[in-house]
Structure 1
Amino acid sequence: MARENGSAIVFSGLVLLVAGAFYAYARASQVDLGHDRYHLTARFISANGLHVGAEVQLAGVPVGRVTAITLDPVSAMANVGFTVDRALQLPADSAVTIGSATMTDEDALMVQPGKAPTHLAPGAVITNAQEAVSLEQQVSNYIFGNGGLPSDSTPGSD
């Protein structure tokens, strides 16, 4: 009986140790360790599909991480805090969107650099932001809308 209790305690300890290791790995993968980055904020009508720890991408290349998603109670808009590599000098008219490169990827914050001669300063707020359009919304737009066809090409308009 004592042997069974001892092995149960050892096994439980190993399970807790493995769970702790997974937790530490998950937290470390969500934090930018050793990167020289600066903080920016984007304001969205909806941050649906985005989560803290998601990648920030520029031309499909990861350049930062989403650090916070909060709701501004006054404007009812989502404030998305994120970091980007300090080596990037993003133009002041840059835009951000929520999306993914493929249907199987997680949503990421995608940066589209502008052409302004001035650059975004650390802590700047990007207001040129577009939320993701869900697959369901895209299909609905195609089915119940005109599917992207010119309005004069509807059946029976001859």
Structure 2
Amino acid sequence: MIGRGRTGATFFSSAVLAGTLAFALYARATQTAPGQERYDLSARFVSANGLARGADVALAGVPVGRVSSVTLDPTSQMAIVKFRMNTELKIPDDSTLTIGSSTLSSDNALIIEPGHSRAMAAPGTVLTHTLEPSSLEQQVSNYIFGGGNLDQ
């Protein structure tokens, strides 16, 4: 009778571990597309309000990467946003980055506006052309008083 109880506990524990492993593999697979290589970049912001790890990195409204971390530099007291971009996409090193959303109902993303430089940002580059994120109130105000354009 005692051996039967241990067998059941062992089976149940194994099932829980298998379920956890399956979920971890699923979560990892949804973070990157199969066979898609990425490279690391980072940016400095006065404020990274509303941006979280795992947020999309968008270029022309298309997700092209993910935010890997948002930390505070204790020396400069600026937010450091590290992100990963798809390797096939190279952005000019004078590109402008901002935090926002394309609609009032979507989550915040790191938005890239390509610059005009011929030099491309190499892996590990810290991009410094950044704009402060606008608050929800500012976005609504821009929409109401700016003729409906949320990108102001």
TM-score (norm 2): 0.74
1:45 is aligned to 46
Q: Which runs of 4+ in 1 moved over 6 A?
A: 9-17
Note the residue ranges of structure 2 that are not aligned, 5 or more in a row.
Answer: 1-7, 147-152
How big is each residue's C-alpha offset from its partner over 1:38-58, in whole Å with a ceiling of 9 and x where there is no partner?
Answer: 111010111111111111110
Query: Residues of 2 paired with 1:74 and 1:31: CA distance?
Result: 33
For 1:129, what is the secondary structure of its paired residue? coil
The answer to which of 11-20 and 53-62 deviates more is 11-20
Query: Residues of 2 paired with 1:108 and 1:99: CA distance?
Result: 6
TM-score (norm 1): 0.71
1:97 is aligned to 98
For 2:85, what is the secondary structure of its paired residue? strand
Query: Residues of 2 paired with 1:65 and 1:131: CA distance?
Result: 19
Identity %: 49
Which of these two proteins has the greater Rg computed from alpha carbons? 1
The answer to which of 24-33 and 117-126 deviates more is 24-33
How big is each residue's C-alpha offset from its partner over 1:19-48, in whole Å with a ceiling of 9 and x where there is no partner?
Answer: 665455345434566321111101011111
Count of aligned residue pairs for this structure pair: 143
Query: Residues of 2 paired with 1:103 and 1:14: CA distance?
Result: 42
